[in-house]
Amino acid sequence: MHDDIQEILLSEEVIQNKVRELGKQLSQEYEGKNPLCICVLKGAAPFMADLVRRMEIPLEMDFMAVSSYGAYTQSSGVVRIVKDLDTPVEGRHVLVVEDIIDSGLTLSYLLELLRGRNTASAKVVTLLDKPTRRTTGLKPDYSGFEVPDAFVVGYGLDYAEKYRNLPYIGVLKEEIYSV
Ligand SMILES: O=P(O)(O)OC[C@H]1O[C@H](OP(=O)(O)OP(=O)(O)O)[C@H](O)[C@@H]1O
Ligand code: HPA
């Protein structure tokens, strides 16, 4: 285990089993719909890469970057589009792929934006849900795990751009971000 990690919450095996399960479920839900899977960069990149390989249906991928956290652990409350989609979404079934929903600010903003572009449907799959931190009414359509109110890193999730490449998800030691 990495020295900066206090505790492993979800092992690589547990994550991969869940991804396989979600991929199977989404394959059934989106059969015949050629969904556009939208990865919210950067945190969702490992989850998106693993998830689409478990979806056994035709689909397309696109990438979007929005930022509300800046470099550290507090949401700024202001959502900014850093990179927009390359694909027109009008009439498309879009599935937003997220690593974590915390306050829900990022996704509330994103879903409103996408629905305003007249999608046929706009749903969300998140690997992690931290419902205790929610300040919006947002609920994911598909969710992997609920996590407690702790700052978690790994499998895409960062602290100051570090730890995204850990294959597991762990709680960061408080001394790392309290200095
Ligand atoms: O529900 P919220 O409170 O809005 O938080 C969730 C968002 O915060 C993180 O992204 P971040 O802005 O840190 O960018 P990153 O994915 O590049 O790390 C995470 O990947 C979600 O997109
Ligand atoms: O717990 C978290 N870890 C990393 N990034 C995050 N963005 C929202 N919550 C978190």
- Tell me: the pLDDT tens digits for 89-115? 999 999 999 999 999 988 999 999 999
Q: Is 42 within 8 Å of 63 (Cβ atoms)?
A: no
- Residue 101 backbone zone (phi > 0: left; psi -120 to 50: alpha; other: beta): beta
Across 112-150, b (16+ Cβ under 10 Å) vs e yields ebbeeeebeebbbbbbbbbbeebeeebebebbbbebeee
Output the residue whose Cα is nearest ligand 2's atom 5. 157
Over residues 27-52, mean pLDDT: 97
Q: Which of 3.40.630.30, 3.40.50.620, 3.40.50.2020, 1.10.3210.50 is the CATH number of 12-150?
A: 3.40.50.2020
Ligand 2 centroid to residue 7 C-alpha, Å: 16
Q: What span, in angstroms and rounded, lies between the C-alpha atoms of 148 and 160?
A: 20
Nearest-angstrom CA–CA distance, 105 and 10: 24
Confidence of residue 178 (pLDDT cuts 50, 70, 90): confident
Q: Of 106, 152, 163, which is best to mutate to test ligand 2, by the most ligand atoms within 8 angstroms of its C-beta?
A: 152
Ligand 1 proximity of 48 Cβ (cutoff 6 Å)? no
Which helix (H) or strand (E) is 13 found in, with range?
helix 12-29
| pLDDT-above-70 percentage for the chain | 94
- The model's pLDDT over 18-31, given as tens digits with 9 standing for 90+, comes to 999 999 999 999 99
Distance 159 CA to ligand 2 centre (A): 8
Q: What is the pLDDT of residue 67?
A: 79
C-alpha 65 – ligand 1 centre gap (Å): 10
- Report how far residue 150's alpha carbon sits from residue 2's, in angstroms, rounded to the nearest whole number: 17
* Ligand 1, atom nearest to 40 Cα: 22
Domain ranges of the chain: 12-150
DSSP-assigned letter for residue 163: S
pLDDT tens for residues 129-169?
Answer: 999 988 888 999 999 999 999 999 999 999 999 999 999 99
